């Protein structure tokens, strides 16, 4: 035992990495509880933690060496031997300091080493903090030892499940020359700036393309709108002119005819007959001239949206005034006119001239519809009545009536189915009637029926007119 002690002490002096060596004698059944400590180095050390390892030692086959890590011995590994001779069994436990063992290797610049045994990190040496940017490259390598070492005579292998993580740091200037490194950095910077610039230019040109596209579309739309607006204006002016011509043609041709007839009569020389004829002609001329000015006023009102002030208007007398104006045309077209007027004329608060424009327009439309139809017994009926709070005028004809399509657009300005129509009559009439809170509606009943409904005005009419029949 003395020799063993001297040997161990000598070895520990030679190899300072060997920290502890304990020798135990075991009973024949290897029960670690009855292990007797024969020697321990250093001598004054408690062997509690070493005894805790004994169950592992007795489990290893006799005559084998084993190396492993243990949580109670950080930074160290333990080599154990289980031996026997004829009479006794022994356990030897040796604790080796890894840092001490690797010391000669770990000079400045040597690799960083992590040494794990099993899952246990045994040691980490030369570890360096990694900064965010470094002129150094970290090269990592992991080595795992293969078979656990269980052969008694094999002491060259590593401990069981040993893992070495080796990482070496290489300085960048070791890869490049200094000039090369500067050139590399310069080129990289230029490349980054160039890529950024190209990207920026690309984005800019796409944005420009997009706004250019939008501007082109907007310009095209504006051009189209302008053209349409211009076309609409040209159309409206054209239609207006056509309408004025159409409306004025008739009174002007009457004025012309009657003036020519008067001239002829003057040339023939019968004084009495001339005077009488001239009086009648002049009266008719004045009437036609008034009508022409009424038409012009109506067109002007439509254009400038001028509204005349309402007044208490006897509807029957206004209707009769218009009938008188239109009678020659009614006769010329072979139309029979029936006046079915309420005995007591309805009165409404509406400008007389404007109301007459409405009635004139409805009768003119009826005449036009009948002249275009193949109806043999052409008839227009004008009826007035009072229904509760409403004064009603109904103008109907037995022409071809109103188609679905026409009914839908009748009151829209410039809607017309006539070659020389202006399409303003009904829209203007509706506007006049609605301005005094009335309505103008259209329907079909053996032809077209137009109904003007005005709020009744409760004042005594100037004269009571009875149902009359004209033409």
| Residue ranges in contact with ligand ADP by CB under 6 A | 361, 365-366, 369, 397, 399, 402, 406, 410, 415-418, 421-427, 448
What span, in angstroms and rounded, lies between the C-alpha atoms of 81 and 444?
124
Q: Which is nearer to ligand ADP, 82 or 360 (CB)?
A: 360
Pairing of strands 390-397, 347-349: unpaired
Q: Which is nearer to ligand ADP, 258 or 361 (CB)?
A: 361
Minimum CB–partner distance for residue 335 and ligand ADP (Å): 12
Q: Which is nearer to ligand ADP, 448 or 453 (CB)?
A: 448
What span, in angstroms and rounded, lies between the C-alpha atoms of 235 and 238?
5
Taking CB atoms within 8 Å and a gap of at least 24, the contacts of 137-146 are 137/169, 137/170, 137/171, 137/172, 137/175, 138/167, 138/168, 138/169, 139/167, 139/168, 139/169, 139/170, 140/165, 140/166, 140/167, 141/165, 141/166, 141/167, 141/168, 142/166
CA dihedral of residues 39, 40, 44, 47 (deg, nearest 10): -110
What span, in angstroms and rounded, lies between the C-alpha atoms of 77 and 70?
7
Q: Which is nearer to ligand ADP, 271 or 404 (CB)?
A: 404
C-beta nearest to ligand ADP: residue: 425
Minimum CB–partner distance for residue 421 and ligand ADP (Å): 3
Helical segments of 382-462, H only? 404-409, 425-435
Total length of the chain:
471
Helical segments of 269-343, H only? 271-304, 315-332
Minimum CB–partner distance for residue 398 and ligand ADP (Å): 10
What span, in angstroms and rounded, lies between the C-alpha atoms of 412 and 378?
27
Q: Which is nearer to ligand ADP, 75 or 421 (CB)?
A: 421
Exposure class string for 420-445: b at 16+ Cβ within 10 A, else e: ebbbbbbbbbbbbbeebebebebeee
Minimum CB–partner distance for residue 264 and ligand ADP (Å): 34
Q: Which is nearer to ligand ADP, 195 or 409 (CB)?
A: 409
Minimum CB–partner distance for residue 252 and ligand ADP (Å): 18
Minimum CB–partner distance for residue 424 and ligand ADP (Å): 6
Minimum CB–partner distance for residue 223 and ligand ADP (Å): 32
Q: Which is nearer to ligand ADP, 56 or 246 (CB)?
A: 246
What span, in angstroms and rounded, lies between the C-alpha atoms of 37 and 339?
147
Minimum CB–partner distance for residue 416 and ligand ADP (Å): 3
Q: Element (H or E) spanning 56, and its range? A: helix 54-59
Q: Which is nearer to ligand ADP, 42 or 408 (CB)?
A: 408
């Amino acid at each position: 035992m003395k020799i063993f002690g001297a040997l161990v002490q000598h070895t520990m002096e030679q190899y300072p990495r060997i920290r502890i060596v304990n020798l135990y004698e075991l009973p024949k059944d290897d029960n670690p509880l009855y292990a007797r400590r024969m020697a321990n180095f250093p001598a004054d050390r408690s062997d509690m933690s070493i005894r805790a390892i004994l169950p592992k030692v007795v489990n290893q086959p006799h005559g084998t060496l084993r190396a492993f890590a243990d949580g109670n011995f950080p930074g160290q590994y333990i080599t154990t031997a289980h031996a026997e001779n004829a009479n006794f069994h022994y356990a030897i436990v040796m604790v080796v300091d890894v840092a001490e063992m690797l010391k000669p290797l770990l000079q400045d610049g040597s690799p960083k080493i992590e040494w794990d045994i099993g899952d246990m990190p045994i040691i980490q040496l030369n570890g360096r903090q990694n900064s965010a940017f470094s002129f150094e490259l970290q090269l990592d390598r992991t080595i795992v030892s293969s078979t656990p070492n269980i052969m008694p005579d094999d002491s060259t292998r590593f401990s069981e499940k040993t893992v070495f993580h080796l990482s070496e740091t290489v300085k960048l200037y070791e890869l490049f020359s200094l000039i090369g490194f500067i050139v590399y950095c310069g080129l990289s910077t230029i490349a980054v700036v160039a890529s950024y610039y190209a990207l920026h230019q690309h984005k800019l040109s796409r944005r420009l393309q997009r706004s250019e596209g939008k501007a082109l579309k907007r310009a095209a739309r504006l051009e189209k709108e302008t053209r349409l607006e211009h076309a609409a204006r040209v159309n409206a002016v054209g239609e207006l002119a056509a309408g004025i011509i159409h409306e004025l043609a008739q009174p002007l041709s009457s004025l012309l005819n009657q003036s020519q007839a008067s001239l002829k009569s003057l040339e023939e020389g019968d004084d009495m007959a001339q005077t009488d004829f001239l009086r009648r002609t002049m009266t008719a001329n004045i009437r036609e001239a008034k009508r022409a000015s009424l038409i012009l006023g109506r067109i002007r009102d439509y254009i400038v949206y001028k509204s005349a002030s309402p007044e208490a208007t006897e509807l029957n007398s206004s209707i009769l005034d218009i009938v008188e104006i239109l009678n020659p045309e009614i006769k010329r077209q072979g139309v029979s006119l029936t006046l079915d007027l309420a005995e007591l004329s309805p009165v409404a608060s509406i400008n007389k001239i404007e109301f007459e424009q409405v009635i004139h327009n409805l009768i003119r439309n009826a005449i036009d519809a009948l002249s275009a139809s193949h109806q043999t017994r052409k008839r227009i009926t004008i009826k007035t009545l009072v229904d509760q709070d409403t004064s009603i005028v109904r103008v109907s004809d037995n022409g071809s009536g109103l188609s679905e399509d026409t009914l839908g657009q009748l009151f829209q300005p410039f809607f017309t189915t006539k070659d020389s129509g202006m399409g303003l009559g009904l829209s203007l009439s509706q506007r006049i009637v609605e301005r005094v809170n009335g309505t103008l509606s259209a329907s079909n009943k053996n032809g077209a029926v137009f109904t003007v409904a005005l709020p009744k005005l409760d004042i005594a009419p100037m004269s009571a007119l009875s149902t009359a029949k004209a033409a």
